Amino acid sequence: MEPTPQPPAPTVEVCYRHPNEQTRVHCTRCGRPICPQCMIPAPVGYQCPECVAQARREFRRGPGRPIRGGVTVTKALLYAIAAVFVVEVLTGGPRALFEGPNPGRLIDLGSMQPFLIADGQYWRLFTAMFLHAGVLHIGFNAYALWLFGSIVESNLGRTPMVVIYVLSGFLASVASYAFGPESSVGVGASGAIFGIFGAFIAFNYRRRHLAMAEANLRWAGMLIVLNILLAFAFGGRIDWRAHLGGLIAGLAAGTFAEGWGTTSQRRLVQVAGLAGLVALGIALVVWRTTEIRELPFFDEGLAFFQQLGERS
């Protein structure tokens, strides 16, 4: 009778800083094994001293500094927005600088218009985030993008910054499209910037045990209250649906982009989480498109906005 095969002995891991200390705990940021002496409590699990020190260096680095030199993603986005605004002013007439182009010209340039999107012009969900209605509109948005984009990019990196901006801008447009009036003509980077702001909140919330992160969260809370008051004050001139959709998308995208768990688990969270947000946006677009196409006045509304764009 052959002996029953025995299961393999469990792998014994040791702390990467103290080779004589056995452990089964891993740093939630880098995945390396750490012993009780090296465990530093984190929002999820424990982190090693090196990762905690790196996080503190990232905070001290501050906004506006490129990670590896050259043009940052934040600057590139600002350049793109400015270039499109120049086109708006040149093609929109003498009043476009302060008031923005007329609705017909904005439609021609790629604004967010539900009837046209329902007719198949889905690219408007992206192009609208690069258009603005006047110099004050782009000025406020550019300042907010420079401020929060620089911080998010310096802490999360260039690729996550691009993903968060585009994804938040898309979902902000989707929120406006799905829950806003069919006759609206929407423009602005506000939704995408609220997404960057949401990622800023998510990043600091995970580090709320640090004094600077706690201060940043208080600052973010005051800004949210201020924006709520502005939404009430300006009424229909502010698309609060896009702002709220972008903020929620940024909170989720920022959380997923940073991930949690071991290195392999973090990658799974990043891919699955961000893919889930894209799927949610697509599902809302499909639902709203079906709803708009079934409206009894869909053909009339579509014809009106098509002609409005052609007359510009």
Whether the pLDDT of residue 98 is over 90: the answer is: no
Set 26, 132, 137, 243: catalytic member: 243
Name the most confidently modeled range: 21-35, 249-263, 287-301.
287-301
CA atoms within 13 A on the CB side of 17: 14
Encode burial over 21-54: b for 16+ CB neighbours within 10 A, e otherwise.
bebebbbbbbebbbbeebbeebeeebbbebbbee
Q: Is the pLDDT of residue 279 over 80?
A: yes
C-alpha closest to that of 15 among 28, 2, 26: 26
Q: Is residue 137 flagged as an active site residue?
A: no
Residue 67 — pLDDT band, cuts 50, 70, 90?
very low
Please tell me whether the overall predicted TM-score, pTM, comes out greater than 0.95 for this model.
Answer: no
Show contacts of 78-83: CB within 8 Å, 24+ apart: 78/142, 78/145, 78/146, 80/130, 81/130, 81/132, 81/138, 81/141, 81/142, 81/145, 81/189, 82/138, 82/142
111 is catalytic: no
Q: CB count, 10 Å around CB of 270?
A: 19
For 40, list phi and psi in degrees, rounded to 5: -115, 120
Highest mean pLDDT, choosing among 51-60, 201-210, 240-249: 240-249
Q: Is the pLDDT of residue 274 over 90?
A: yes
How far, in whole angstroms, is CA 94 from its chain's centroid? 34
- Helices of type H across 96-239: 96-99, 103-109, 114-118, 124-127, 135-156, 158-179, 190-205, 211-234
Question: Band of the pLDDT at 5, cuts 50, 70, 90?
Answer: low
The boundaries of every CATH 1.20.1540.10 domain in the chain are: 64-311
Among residues 137, 190, 264, 312, the one annotated as catalytic is 190
Provide the percentage of residues in the chain whose pLDDT is more than 90: 52
Domain 64-311 in CATH 1.20.1540.10? The answer is yes
Helix (H, G, I), strand (E, B) or coil at 132: coil
